[in-house]
Chains A and B, each alone.
Chain A
Amino acid sequence: MNLKKTINQPFIIAIILFVVVFLIDIAALFNLSLTTSIKNVRDLLVMSGTIFLLIAFVRWIQGIAIYNEIKYILYSYMFIFSINYFSPFCDRIANSVEHIILRSIASIVSLFFLIFVLALIRDLIFVQRKKGTSRNFNLLFILLIYYSFFSKSTNFDFNFKMQFPTAFVLPEWINIVYLVLTILMIYLIVINSFKTHWVKFINKNEKVKTFFSSIIILTLSILLIIKGKVVVSTYNITAGNFFSACCVFITVYFAFSIIVILLHLPTAGVYDRKVKELSSLHNLSRNILGVFDLERVMKIITDQTIEVAGANYCWLLVKNLGSNKFELVAQKDLPITLLDNFSENPTSELTELVEDNKTALKIDRISKYKLISEIKVWRNRSGSLLAIPLISNEQVMGILFAVKNNEYGFLADDQALLTMFANNATIAIENARLLKTSLEREQYEQELKVAHDAQRKLLPANMPETKTLEIDASCITANEVGGDYYDFFQYDKSKLGVIIGDVSGKGAEAAFYMAEVKGVIESLGSIYSSPKELLIKTNKILFNTLDKKTFISALYGIFDLRKKTFTFSRAGHCPLLYWSKEDKEVYLIEPAGLALGLDSGKNFQNILKEEKITYKPDDIFVFITDGVNEARNSDQEEFEEQRLCDIVFENHNQNATAIKNAILEKIETFVGNQKQHDDLTVIVIKVK
């Protein structure tokens, strides 16, 4: 109810009209002769005020709960009754200003509340609005106004004698018209009184209260009709008639309401329960589909079990995926002694029984139940118990328990309802678990993507340009980042460093270690001119930072373009393929060496050897990672170095890029549609 709406135009007009009427009354007191027409004007003013009041109220009372409307009707009507029934102002002739003021106020207040009641009844009628609803009510209101004007009796009676204050005589048949209109009014009173659909929308408790309220209203109404002479009728006969007619309408309406409520009362409990079931289902499905907030769904389920099934306390156990044990996830009103018991050991004989049977367990009389000894604990305070399993993939993933204090507390209906709750809980739990798994997977995939990107960025974007060497390289990453790495370092115009390596870890970790290797070699490469020394130093640094399980195989070497030599050391990496044009032969060169990060330093230093090759034009160097020689075909055969040697032998006349492509193509053909399981890197360097 908004105050701005309250002070609306019809309301102001109504107030003005009543003030004018008041002024006319004052004028009458001072013996200003009032003509009949002035009296009629006064009638019109009062009734117009009434109409405007109704319009104002109709606008005002929208959106009030049905039961509150009944309460307002009751209070308003009691107020109207007390003013009109016990009022001392029923004397027709006003003989003082004081009298007029008090009578006017009492009458206007009465009319005010009467119209309020009428507007509330209109709202009740409009609860189930149909095509004719509005028409029927408006017509009734018009006929009530009509009746007020033309029945000049103070009592509600059927005296249709026209007393229209005119000089000319009206024909007799006009009374028949009035009779017809009055019968129509009575008919409409009855028609409107049938509109009691609002009874369906209040709950049992409210129905009972409304029933008694209606009886009070009915009684007061009848008393007012019997008394007949009310304050309003002394204020204005027309308004008095209107008042009486309204009383009749209210009497009939509430008589009907009482009957309808009486008819509805026996089924009210069931009706309420169905409404609750529906709303709880709605609530559950909204939460299950929308929020994925498992705790909230569990809480709703236990709350609804209490509210809808009328259990005294309940709890929900769900099996933990890791420990495979039942855990208490939600409870409502669970006695503290039991709660302590559960948090320590929720898996009991009872849960085992339900889990084994995979069906609902209903115990009607806990005191007589012999199958489970543990149930003795509850005998003092509990009558009946219902346990419903939450079943997913034919496994009991949880159990919903409800307990009532009285024996035979659970009906078949309750069991169906709780089964429905249990099903909802199952869906919610599964949803939440699925969501968690997919989030984890997404996170893992995201991590892999970051690792892939990082790896890409660590690899050289362009091949180094030298006058005497043709260089090409490719790194094909598997879905799972294996951690292949290669790089070139241009130290000065005549020296080019090459590294190829493989980190044993995977994912982001591998990319991280790769970055570390790159950093170390970039900073130490220009200091140590010997590959062996550089690798010894690198190993020392990496040993301290690498995870125990992680190691890095690497082959590092330096091309001296002036002296035409390649000096390299192999830290546990795949051997170097060297094609010597002079010898017309492919060599696999594998100087002794240990992978980086396996040994703190001494062993590494002792084992590592350095090799020096003096190359000639058209000689070829091929560097690979184990993804090449360990590439597998569908027969689980490995590609092996020998095949690689053959390819280099066959293609030695080609340039570096063509040789590299030949190697990659052969691997691809060899592997076929088998999944690549490791990164695969090939560097081909051909001397011009």
Chain B
Amino acid sequence: MESFEVSKKEDGKVVILNIKGYLDAHTAPMLENELQQLVDAGKYNILVNFSELLYISSAGLGVFMGFIENIRNNEGDIKLSDMNSKIYRVFDLLGFPTLYDIVEEEQEALKKFNS
């Protein structure tokens, strides 16, 4: 089974999640738990860095859908950054760029959060 890891760091009011490896139906619950914990702790400004992600399946995409409504209702956001072209392609095909703020680099997203 392919591995998946989430690491977390905080930058001001923003929580940055670095996701690594394969995000599919098996590993999606790990990210789900992580996001749930942040939401429970009232941290609604979340940046997900995709730089080390190798693969994402539709179940992986579903994870973000499960939280976005609640987070936006609490004036927060999930922003996605540093996607490689293959991953971006998956998001693009499904039309996600119209729903999510997908930016090139982490710094850009942080600026957007702080503005």
What per-residue 1/0 map shows which CB atoms of A547-588 lie under 8 Å from chain B? 011110100000000000000000111110000000000000
With A549-B62, A549-B66, A636-B54 already in contact, the answer to whether A594 and B94 are too (CB < 8 A) is yes
Of the candidates B59, B63, B90, B93, the one having the most CB atoms from chain A within 10 angstroms of its own CB is B93
Residue contact A594 to B99, C-beta cutoff 8 Å: yes
Q: How many residues of A contact B (CB 8 A)?
A: 30
Is A638 at the interface (CB under 8 A from chain B)?
A: yes
With A504-B62, A506-B59, A677-B24 already in contact, the answer to whether A553 and B93 are too (CB < 8 A) is yes
Enumerate B34-83 residues with CB–CB distance to A below 8 Å. 54-55, 57-59, 61-63, 65-66, 69
Is A678 at the interface (CB under 8 A from chain B)?
A: yes
With A480-B25, A574-B93 already in contact, the answer to whether A598 and B57 are too (CB < 8 A) is no
Residue contact A504 to B95, C-beta cutoff 8 Å: no
| Contact residue among A504, A553, A592, A599 (Cβ-Cβ distance under 8 Å from B99) | A599
Residues of A within 8 A of B98 (CB): 594, 603, 607
Residue contact B58 to A551, C-beta cutoff 8 Å: yes
Residue contact A595 to B24, C-beta cutoff 8 Å: no
Residues of A within 8 A of B54 (CB): 636
B78 CB → nearest A CB, Å: 13
Residues of A within 8 A of B66 (CB): 548-549
What per-residue 1/0 map shows which CB atoms of A588-610 lie under 8 Å from chain B? 00101111001100010001000
Residues of A within 8 A of B62 (CB): 504-505, 549-551
Q: Measured between alpha carbons, how far is A505 from B28 in the docked complex, in Å?
A: 12
A507 CB → nearest B CB, Å: 9
Q: Measured between alpha carbons, how far is A638 from B22 in the docked complex, in Å?
A: 14
Residue contact B61 to A504, C-beta cutoff 8 Å: yes
Residues of A within 8 A of B58 (CB): 482, 502, 504, 551, 553, 626
Is B13 at the interface (CB under 8 A from chain A)?
A: no
Enumerate A638-684 residues with CB–CB distance to B below 8 Å. 638, 677-678
| Contact residue among A548, A551, A678 (Cβ-Cβ distance under 8 Å from B94) | A551
With A551-B65, A594-B98, A603-B99 already in contact, the answer to whether A504 and B59 are too (CB < 8 A) is yes
Is B112 at the interface (CB under 8 A from chain A)?
A: no
Residues of B within 8 A of A636 (CB): 54-55
A589 CB → nearest B CB, Å: 13
Q: Measured between alpha carbons, how far is A550 from B25 in the docked complex, in Å?
A: 12
Is B8 at the interface (CB under 8 A from chain A)?
A: no
Residues of B within 8 A of A593 (CB): 95
Residues of B within 8 A of A678 (CB): 57
With A548-B66, A551-B65 already in contact, the answer to whether A598 and B95 are too (CB < 8 A) is yes
Enumerate B81-98 residues with CB–CB distance to A below 8 Å. 86, 90, 93-96, 98
Residues of A within 8 A of B95 (CB): 571-572, 592-595, 598, 607
A397 CB → nearest B CB, Å: 26
Q: Measured between alpha carbons, how far is A417 from B61 in the docked complex, in Å?
A: 57
Q: Measured between alpha carbons, how far is A603 from B68 in the docked complex, in Å?
A: 15
Q: Residue of B at shortest CB range from A595?
A: B94
Residues of B within 8 A of A551 (CB): 58, 61-62, 65, 94
Q: Measured between alpha carbons, how far is A592 from B66 in the docked complex, in Å?
A: 23
Q: Measured between alpha carbons, how far is A599 from B24 in the docked complex, in Å?
A: 22
Q: Measured between alpha carbons, how far is A610 from B93 in the docked complex, in Å?
A: 15
Q: Residue of B at shortest CB range from A553?
A: B94
Residues of B within 8 A of A592 (CB): 95
Residues of B within 8 A of A603 (CB): 98-99
Enumerate A473-503 residues with CB–CB distance to B below 8 Å. 480, 482, 502
Q: Measured between alpha carbons, how far is A551 from B68 in the docked complex, in Å?
A: 14
B63 CB → nearest A CB, Å: 7
Residues of B within 8 A of A506 (CB): 25, 59
A98 CB → nearest B CB, Å: 100
Residues of B within 8 A of A594 (CB): 94-95, 98-99
Residues of B within 8 A of A480 (CB): 25
Q: Measured between alpha carbons, how far is A480 from B63 in the docked complex, in Å?
A: 18
A627 CB → nearest B CB, Å: 10
Q: Measured between alpha carbons, how far is A505 from B57 in the docked complex, in Å?
A: 10
Q: Residue of A at shortest CB range from B28?
A: A549
Residues of B within 8 A of A638 (CB): 86
Residues of B within 8 A of A549 (CB): 59, 62-63, 65-66
Q: Measured between alpha carbons, how far is A599 from B95 in the docked complex, in Å?
A: 10
Q: Residue of B at shortest CB range from A574?
A: B93
B76 CB → nearest A CB, Å: 16
Q: Residue of B at shortest CB range from A550?
A: B62
Q: Measured between alpha carbons, how far is A590 from B93 in the docked complex, in Å?
A: 8
Residues of A within 8 A of B57 (CB): 677-678
A401 CB → nearest B CB, Å: 37
Residues of A within 8 A of B90 (CB): 626
B100 CB → nearest A CB, Å: 10
A677 CB → nearest B CB, Å: 7
Q: Residue of B at shortest CB range from A552?
A: B58
Q: Measured between alpha carbons, how far is A228 from B61 in the docked complex, in Å?
A: 108
Add 7 more A-B contacts to A551-B61, A598-B99 (CB < 8 A).
A548-B66, A549-B59, A573-B93, A592-B95, A594-B98, A636-B54, A677-B57
Measured CB to CB, the residues of A under 8 A from B are 480, 482, 502, 504-506, 548-551, 553, 571-575, 590, 592-595, 598-599, 603, 607, 626, 636, 638, 677-678
Measured CB to CB, the residues of B under 8 A from A are 24-25, 54-55, 57-59, 61-63, 65-66, 69, 86, 90, 93-96, 98-99
Q: Would you list 28 pairs from A and B whose C-beta atoms are within 8 A, ordered by A residue? A: A504-B58, A504-B61, A548-B65, A548-B66, A548-B69, A549-B65, A551-B61, A551-B65, A553-B93, A553-B94, A572-B94, A572-B95, A573-B93, A575-B93, A590-B93, A594-B94, A594-B98, A598-B95, A598-B96, A598-B99, A599-B99, A603-B98, A626-B58, A626-B90, A626-B93, A636-B54, A638-B86, A677-B57
